[in-house]
A and B are shown apart, each in its own frame.
Chain A
Amino acid sequence: MTSTARILAMAKMVWVEIFRKKDFYVAFILVGVVLVYAANLRFYNIQGISRYLMDLGLALIFFSASLLTILLAARQYPNELRDRTLQVLLSKPVSRFEFVIAKFLGSLAAGLTCFILFILVFLFIVLSRAGSISWVTAFQTVYLFALNLAVLAAMTSAFSYFFTLGANVTTTFILYLTINLYGGSLGTAAAGLKGPAFIAAHVAYWVIPHFEFFDARQRFVHQWPALSAPLVFEVTLYAFLYTAFFILLGWSLLRRRKV
């Protein structure tokens, strides 16, 4: 059996897990209810309100898909360790590198599936209300967020070999939100600092994965022009490098650990 087949078998288990537990269904119902409710709101025909609601809906979908990915990726290693299934798994012809890759891929596949299901509901509502959208921008928005989920799944997986489950979920979530909200302005803020604070802010700016790079919601909502192909390529490369870095970090943490 090839390494790929073993990785796919393990990744499939992670994918199956999310649909056999309640988290996904709770999030799906919640997102669906909020989207339908938002789509039926009427504010005295105020201009631009539909765009605002579209923005809100997408934000909710991004948030829910990210949260589900974090929760799933974070619990893989600690739960396998707690239930002793890790010992069973690693006593089979499975290498630790295959294990790390499989857990990442499974978490990503599950997160992406949730995201696509949410987006389909969203698009159905938007198309039934607005009539038309820019498909190129819509595709870019979805594609960039898929890259975002890849980096997030790899980062959460890597942290799971170091932190406890609770600490990982909290740390990753706070880090993810903070970077999304303030990551872009960190460079500007750093320029106003002096001494060690200046150096620390600059190092942080260049080291953190800039999740905000993958957020093209505004472009879709306000129907701005699509991103250029070279820029999309650069962002793809950026996501690929961070994903690879986090996978290697996870593997280096697990490689020689006594389990």
Chain B
Amino acid sequence: MMHPITVENLVVRYAKKKALDGVSFSVKSGEIFGFIGPNGAGKSTTIKSLLGLILPDEGVIRLDGLSPGQARSRMKVGFLPEETTFYRFLTPLEILDYYGRLFGLDGKLLKQRITYVLERVGLAEVRHRRIGTFSKGMVQKVGLAQALINDPEILILDEPTSGLDPLARLELRGVLAELKKRGRTLFFSSHELSEVELLCDSIAILREGRIVRSGSLEEVVGTDRRKNLELFFLETMQAPT
């Protein structure tokens, strides 16, 4: 069976240094996959490779069987980057109209999608306000809204809870749970291990460009309830390479 995301033996070099060294994993349909690791482990590089923003030096990436560079595969993907500013001179309505058009949406369908997405992320009230006047949390909501505008089959989230207050995190969890219920596949990179533990079905732990552990949450952490993901993560990071 074909998985929505398949990565095989991915190698990415910056100058001569290997940022990713033989990374392989796959994400099942309808699954929330947590991708965790310390700063500089290669999480963002992996995400950029998944999005076709970086051409890997070695290895293969397939999104629903397609190469990430192909426009057809990008039609199926939504992406929320970490701490994006977006266009401060635009309103949420304008920005969603803009991104929606890039996916070929227009007319009534685009209007419906914009209305739905704005309401879903809680920005309907401020849709005519310029983004430049928004708080960090509200900008993050704009980011989530634009990632959902094409009703993506695969959603890639880079540190989605960064800068969000507890209430906004709860709202985000609600949106992601709903997407999972609708059979969407979510790839989730985060430092917030408690969020990962709450949301994800499977995880992969990245260290110095290599995956050191991967599998379902139970498989990786074990069934010992005293041991949470944070403890396990710290043990893994402190273990000799």
When the two chains form their complex, are residues B102 and A93 in contact, meaning their CB atoms are under 8 A apart?
yes
From B53, B86, B99, B143, A258 is in contact (CB under 8 Å) with B53
Query: CB of B51 within 8 A of chain A?
Result: yes
Known contacts A9-B101, A258-B48, A259-B53; A91 and B77 CB within 8 A of each other: yes
CB proximity of B93 to chain A, nearest CB, Å: 13
When the two chains form their complex, are residues B102 and A1 in contact, meaning their CB atoms are under 8 A apart?
yes
CB proximity of B87 to chain A, nearest CB, Å: 7
Known contacts A83-B84, A88-B81; A21 and B102 CB within 8 A of each other: no
Known contacts A87-B51, A87-B79, A259-B48; A92 and B85 CB within 8 A of each other: no
CB proximity of A78 to chain B, nearest CB, Å: 13
Please give me the residue from chain A that is nearest to B84 by CB atom.
Answer: A84
When the two chains form their complex, are residues B53 and A6 in contact, meaning their CB atoms are under 8 A apart?
no
From A9, A16, A256, B89 is in contact (CB under 8 Å) with A16
When the two chains form their complex, are residues A256 and B55 in contact, meaning their CB atoms are under 8 A apart?
yes
When the two chains form their complex, are residues A94 and B102 in contact, meaning their CB atoms are under 8 A apart?
yes
When the two chains form their complex, are residues B84 and A85 in contact, meaning their CB atoms are under 8 A apart?
yes
Q: Please name all residues of chain B whose beta carbon is closer than 8 Å to the beta carbon of A92 when the two chains form the complex.
A: 74, 99, 102-103
* Complex-state Cα separation, A94 to B79, whole angstroms: 14
Query: CB of A17 within 8 A of chain B?
Result: yes
Q: Please name all residues of chain B whose beta carbon is closer than 8 Å to the beta carbon of A12 when the two chains form the complex.
A: 98
CB proximity of A101 to chain B, nearest CB, Å: 14
Q: Please name all residues of chain A whose beta carbon is closer than 8 Å to the beta carbon of B87 when the two chains form the complex.
A: 13, 17, 83, 85
- The interface residues of chain A, by DSSP majority, are classed as helix
Total inter-chain residue pairs, C-beta < 8 Å: 85
Contact pattern, B 49-83, Cβ under 8 Å of A = 1, otherwise 0: 00111110000000000000001101101010111
When the two chains form their complex, are residues A91 and B102 in contact, meaning their CB atoms are under 8 A apart?
no
By the criterion of a CB under 8 Å from any partner CB, how many residues of chain A are at the interface?
Answer: 27
When the two chains form their complex, are residues B71 and A93 in contact, meaning their CB atoms are under 8 A apart?
yes
Query: CB of A20 within 8 A of chain B?
Result: yes
Contact pattern, A 168-209, Cβ under 8 Å of B = 1, otherwise 0: 000000000000000000000000000000000000000000
Q: Please name all residues of chain A whose beta carbon is closer than 8 Å to the beta carbon of B202 when the two chains form the complex.
A: none
When the two chains form their complex, are residues A84 and B81 in contact, meaning their CB atoms are under 8 A apart?
yes
Q: Please name all residues of chain B whose beta carbon is closer than 8 Å to the beta carbon of A5 when the two chains form the complex.
A: 101, 104
Interface residues of A in 5-47 (CB under 8 A from B): 5-6, 9-10, 12-13, 16-17, 20-21
* Complex-state Cα separation, A240 to B191, whole angstroms: 50
When the two chains form their complex, are residues B54 and A258 in contact, meaning their CB atoms are under 8 A apart?
yes
From A20, A88, A93, B79 is in contact (CB under 8 Å) with A88
When the two chains form their complex, are residues B86 and A93 in contact, meaning their CB atoms are under 8 A apart?
no
CB proximity of B58 to chain A, nearest CB, Å: 15
* Complex-state Cα separation, A10 to B102, whole angstroms: 8
Query: CB of A95 within 8 A of chain B?
Result: yes
* Complex-state Cα separation, A13 to B52, whole angstroms: 23
* Complex-state Cα separation, A9 to B156, whole angstroms: 24
When the two chains form their complex, are residues B84 and A17 in contact, meaning their CB atoms are under 8 A apart?
no
* Complex-state Cα separation, A33 to B156, whole angstroms: 52
When the two chains form their complex, are residues B83 and A84 in contact, meaning their CB atoms are under 8 A apart?
yes
Query: CB of A167 within 8 A of chain B?
Result: no
Q: Please name all residues of chain A whose beta carbon is closer than 8 Å to the beta carbon of B104 when the two chains form the complex.
A: 1, 5, 93
Interface residues of B in 27-57 (CB under 8 A from A): 48, 51-55
Residues of chain A at the chain B interface (Cβ within 8 Å) = 1, 5-6, 9-10, 12-13, 16-17, 20-21, 82-85, 87-95, 256, 258-259
> Can you list 5 contacts pairing A with B, beta carbon distance less than 8 Å?
A1-B101, A1-B103, A12-B98, A20-B89, A87-B81
